[in-house]
A and B are shown apart, each in its own frame.
Chain A
Amino acid sequence: MREILSRLRAAGGGLRAAISRDESNGDQLATDGGTTVTTAGDDTLRKSLPVEWELVESAPFWLPPVLLAGFFVYGAIAWNFLLSLTDYNGLGGATYANFDFSMYARMLNDGAFWHAAQNTVVLLVVFTVLCLALGLLVAILIDQNIRFENSFRTIYLLPMSLSFVVTATMWAWVYNARSGVFNQLLRLFNLEGLLVGLLRPAGVNAEVIQWLSWNTTALAAVIFALIWQFSGYAMVVFLAGLRAIPQAHYEAARVDGATTVRMYMRVIIPQLRASAVSASVVLMVFALKAFDFIYALRGSQPGANMDILATMMYRVAFDSLQWAYGSAIAIVLFALALLVIGPYLYSEYRRGEL
């Protein structure tokens, strides 16, 4: 061992000599002793070198993927904004000229846009709120030390693993006016006539509920199906939040004499704020992306009752080839998303969570 040691040391010494030939001569720091050390070509002190070194060292790992994702995400958004300022439409290449906000002005006078925007906001708010409520309820139920907890959780989350196209196909059948589950069950319990009377829009003459076409039900039907698909997600997030609350809090509330309901209302649910915030951000983003579902349900022309900005953008750009107008609608959609995630990311950053 000793022998190896001395050999290693000799090697190490050579290595050190090689490294210490540092060319830098700059900013010598004042060390009050001014001790001189006699070693050949010694390196001088450089302030904060390791920090720069770590940046340089880490760059090969993160820089290429960040540039790639940055190009596809931010590069494309900037490009999209540029396109929204042009008059680009029809077949053929884009002409980058006549930059103005005419497409945005056109939006203001476009009834279809206001319809889609209104539906988007309603979908966003109602879907998110109900999803959170249902997810929270289910999470609390699952958190009661039940048996087969994993099986329940797996089943509740299953719709989320399915494609929007798949779930839309299934729900189209569920909502089918003639033989779908809903109407058949209503018929079974003699409720169909009653509901038809309640829900039928003026001027319509049908005897069965047209869930997906009536303006009274179309958006609600979409929201209901989306809640079915994503409340499992809210449940998983809330369940993680519940599990992070120490058992002692439950016990303390019990000792204080709180009933179960009061314990949840006053002690447990207030502690789930962070879970609720992060779940709602993700859910809102899902709602903004609900394009696939509506497209699979009704194609690119879902009608004014169900049209959202995402479907309108696709229709305007890729069906009508009005690229600039489509880009402008996309920018509005992006601004909406920014409104949701901007404050969220900022608060996460402030709390040091990123």
Chain B
Amino acid sequence: MSTGTRDYVEELRDMDNSRIGLYAVLLFGIVFYLFPVETAVMTMFKTQGEFARTLPFAPPSADGFTLSALATAWNTLRPGLLNSLVMAIPATIMSALLGSLTAYGLTTISWRGQVGVVVFIIAGIFIPYQAVLVPLAQFWYQILPGLLNGFVNTVFGFITGGDWAYPSRNGYVQLFQLSITHGAYGIPICTLLFRSYYQAISDEMIEAARLDGASAFSIYRNIILPLSLPMFAVTLIYQFTQVYNDLLFALVLVNEPAAQVATQRLAALTGGVVQSFNTTMAGAIVAAFPTLLVYIVFGEQFAKGVAGEN
């Protein structure tokens, strides 16, 4: 009896010890995953002299505190932030909508051989974008302008006088091209996310709708679309983060300084010769702000999008 009680107490104590160890490790995890962000936040409020003098994760002293780094970063990045949003939001909506339509046509309406199309489209998620860069540049800067110039000057020659030229160097045109590009490359992942969601929708319900006389479009509009609103949240949030964070496509497709997106501007800021880390850290935080905000508010949806990528 007494030994039994002691065993129990010991067990409890051991368990407590291991629990404490567990939480210690988990807290260390927080330090590990947050310290680069924390040092960035601390550094951006420090003067040039202060950040060279102090430990990066320590808060600035009263003398070493400044908002000027943040102001500089903000002024440099502000046009980029706006461009990023103007480019990323339509691209995200386009990918999500087209992904949802594709998934509907390839899942809810089932037909033999559709798996082949699914594989075809899903494989597009994993393509390294380097493999399409040169053709992309060719397409947007050579082929499309050439085709459009020819078409417009032939059909509307009486207005243009034959010397209309596609405004390749216009910043808005470049942002539009970037947006369409992201929208197209986002279709595969959005299709995958919606497809796994639609696979879980009851076949009987779709059959009931067909018996109710609903057309394929009506089923999409009245049943699938309202039911996939939660999935739209997941997809929009995930895809927005991906598009906003990208640098590669922007580097290739946007060369007008006025049209540069936030990641481009930040890369330029970092690559500057003078290493003013307070300014670059402020730039990093400013550039990260939209996605951080989205992540903090919709972290659950983001996690779902991430988990759906396999």
- Are chains A and B touching in the complex at the 8 Å CB cutoff? yes
Q: Which residues of A contact B (CB under 8 A)?
A: 51, 54-55, 57-66, 68-77, 79-80, 83, 93-94, 138, 141-142, 144, 146, 150, 152-174, 176, 178-181, 184, 188, 228, 232-233, 236-237, 240, 275, 278-279, 281-282, 285, 288-289, 291-292, 295-297, 299, 309-310, 313-314, 317-318, 323, 326-327, 329-331, 333-334, 336-337, 340-341, 345, 349, 354
| Measured CA separation A74–B117 after assembly (Å) | 13
Find out whether the CB atom of A161 lies under 8 angstroms from the CB atom of B123: no
* Closest residue of A by beta carbon distance from B110: A54
Closest beta carbon of chain A to B135's beta carbon, Å: 4
In the complex, what residues of B have CB within 8 A of residue A61's CB? 101-102, 104-105, 109, 216, 220
* Contact partners of A172 in chain B: CB under 8 A: 270, 280
- In the complex formed, the residue of B with least CB distance to A159 is B33
**A180-B56, A317-B133 provided; 13 other pairs, C-beta below 8 A?**
A58-B106, A61-B101, A62-B106, A80-B133, A157-B302, A162-B245, A166-B287, A173-B40, A236-B303, A285-B125, A314-B130, A314-B251, A330-B132
**In the complex the two chains form, is B36's CB within 8 Å of A170's CB?**
yes
| Residues 235-293 (chain B) with a chain A CB within 8 angstroms | 241, 244-248, 251-252, 263, 266-267, 269-271, 275, 277, 280-281, 283-284, 287-288, 291-292
B309 CB → nearest A CB, Å: 6
Select one of B32, B55, B216, B302 contacting A161, CB under 8 A.
B302
Is the CB–CB distance between B35 and A181 below 8 Å? yes
Supposing A58-B105, A166-B266, A285-B128 touch, asked if A233 and B306 sit within 8 A by C-beta, the answer is yes
Determine if B188 and A171 form an interchain contact, defined as CB atoms under 8 angstroms apart.
Answer: no
Interface centre among B23, B128, B131, B220 (most CB of A within 10 A): B131
B134 touches A330 (CB 8 A): yes
In contact, B111 and A54 (Cβ under 8 angstroms): yes
Closest CB in chain B relative to A237 CB, distance in Å: 6
Assess the B247–A330 pair: CB atoms within 8 A.
no
- In angstroms, Cα B295 to Cα A71, docked, is 32
B25 with A141: CB separation less than 8 A: yes
A80 to B130, CA, bound (A): 10
State whether B288 touches A73 (Cβ < 8 A).
Answer: no
Chain B residues whose C-beta falls within 8 Å of the C-beta of A51 in the assembled complex: 111-112
The reply to whether the CB of B86 lies closer than 8 angstroms to some CB of chain A is no
Q: Which residues does chain A contribute within 8 Å of B181, judged by CB atoms?
A: 72
Select which of B22, B32, B303 is within 8 A of A144 by beta carbon. B22
Are B25 and A77 in contact, with the CB atoms below 8 A? no
Q: Which of A71, A80, A333 has the most CB of B within 10 A?
A: A80
Q: How large is the interface on B (under 10, 10 to 19, 20 to 34, 35 or more residues)?
A: 35 or more
* Bound complex: CA A150 to CA B288 (Å): 22
A–B pairs, 19, beta carbons within 8 Å? A57-B216, A58-B109, A61-B105, A63-B105, A65-B98, A79-B135, A141-B22, A142-B26, A152-B26, A161-B302, A162-B291, A173-B277, A179-B51, A181-B56, A281-B310, A296-B263, A329-B130, A331-B131, A354-B122
- The interface residues of chain B lying within 8 Å CB-to-CB of A288 are 128
- Chain B residue at minimum C-beta to C-beta distance from A169: B284
Could you tell me if B134 and A83 are in contact, using CB atoms closer than 8 angstroms? Answer: yes
B187 within 8 A of partner (CB): yes
A165 in contact with B267 given A146-B23, A171-B36 (CB within 8 Å): yes
Q: Which of B174-231 contact A (CB under 8 A)?
A: 181, 184-185, 187-188, 191, 216-217, 220
Contacts of A240 in B (CB 8 A): 307
Residues A296 and B270 in contact in the complex (CB < 8 Å), given A62-B102, A72-B184:
yes
Asked if residues B126 and A62 are in contact (CB atoms below 8 Å), the reply is no
The reply to whether A62 and B105 contact each other, CB–CB distance below 8 Å, is yes
CB-based nearest B residue for A291? B248
Q: Counting chain A CB atoms within 10 Å of each CB, which of B36, B125, B216, B247 scores highest?
A: B36
A170 to B281, CA, bound (A): 7
Minimal Cβ-Cβ distance residue in B for A54: B111
**Contact status B131-A333, CB under 8 Å:** yes
Return chain B residues, CB-CB under 8 Å to A336.
128
Residues in B whose Cβ lies below 8 Å from that of A69: 98, 121, 124, 184-185, 187-188
**A345 close to B119 (CB less than 8 A):** yes
Query: B83 contacts which chain A residues (CB < 8 A)?
Result: none
Distance in angstroms from A55 CB to nearest chain B CB is 5
Task: Verify if B67 is at the interface (C-beta below 8 Å from A).
Answer: no
Shortest C-beta distance, B221 to chain A (Å), equals 11
Inter-chain contact A278/B310, CB cutoff 8 Å: yes
Q: CB < 8 Å: which of A71, A165, A174 contacts B247?
A: A165
Residues on the B chain within 8 Å of A180, using CB: 56
With known contacts A62-B101, A228-B32, A173–B283 Cβ distance under 8 A: no
Residues of B within 8 A of A60 (CB): 105, 216-217
Determine the chain A residues whose CB is within 8 A of the CB of B270 once the complex forms. Answer: 165, 168-169, 172, 296-297
Instruction: Out of B37, B120, B127, B134, name the residue touching A66 (CB < 8 Å).
Output: B120
A residues less than 8 Å from B43 (CB atoms)? 173
